[in-house]
Amino acid sequence: MTQEETGLLFVISGPSGVGKGTVGAALRKKNKKVVYSVSATSRSPRPGEIDGETYFFKTKEEFEAMIEAGEFLEWAQYIHHYYGTPKKFVFEQLEMGNDVFLEIEVQGAMQVKKSYPHGIFIFLLPPDMEELRQRIKNRGTEDDEVIARRLSVAREEIEMMRNYDYVVVNDQVDLAVSRIEAIITAEHCRQERTYNRYIKWFKEE
């Protein structure tokens, strides 16, 4: 299968608390054709998170064994925990012609950019830093020290947006989803994805 015929890999990342999970869930609900890759993590589940749906929850030892076996498309260590994307599922879906979305941290996104340059990279941005701080605080799962550390990391990550193809501000979830859907449509309309397929018309005459 040629690159023009495979599905597209979309990578969404942004600072902790920006709402990647919320936007992703809304996009999946609205667009049933979108296939989301479930990431693995060594952190403990938060309330309401389900193993195999939200993340594949692994122990630190299990995760490190998967790294050694080369089972990840990307992986990163963030705030003392591992996160990674099992590559087998992603490549199978792309070969089937399905679009795949990854919700991953910035470190992981940069690894994917090197290993899979055909990906489309979308940076999710908060309206402002105060809103980001409030969103992290409202989780109620982290103390002030962890919140401060996350905000410090967020500033560094936001500077990385220059390495992305698109930037979407998550001011309202529905608007953010609409913007991402517009990106999906635009990417499927790029001439390099269709030229080789349709030029065959003339070769067959």
CATH number at residue 135: 3.40.50.300
- Eight-class DSSP state of 119: -
| Cα–Cα distance, 205 to 198 (Å, whole number) | 12
Q: Can you say whether the dihedral through the CA atoms of 140, 141, 145, 149 is positive or negative? A: negative
* Residue 61 forms part of a structural domain: no
Divide the 205 residues of the chain into consecutive groups of 10 and give the mean pLDDT of each group.
74 89 91 88 92 90 95 87 90 92 89 91 91 79 80 88 96 96 94 78 69
pTM score of the predicted model: 0.80
Strand-pair category, 9-13 with 120-125: parallel
Which residues form the domain of 197? Answer: 9-37+99-203
Q: Give backbone dihedrals phi and psi of 101, rounded to 5 degrees, phi first.
A: -110, 135
Give how many domains the chain has, as a whole number: 1
Strand partners, 22: none
Instruction: Please give the pLDDT value at position 186.
Output: 95
* Residue 143 forms part of a structural domain: yes
* Residue 56 forms part of a structural domain: no
* Residue 194 forms part of a structural domain: yes
Q: How far is CA 47 from the centre of its chain?
A: 21
* Residue 186 forms part of a structural domain: yes
* Residue 20 forms part of a structural domain: yes
Q: Give backbone dihedrals phi and psi of 142, rounded to 5 degrees, phi first.
A: -130, 145
* Residue 175 forms part of a structural domain: yes
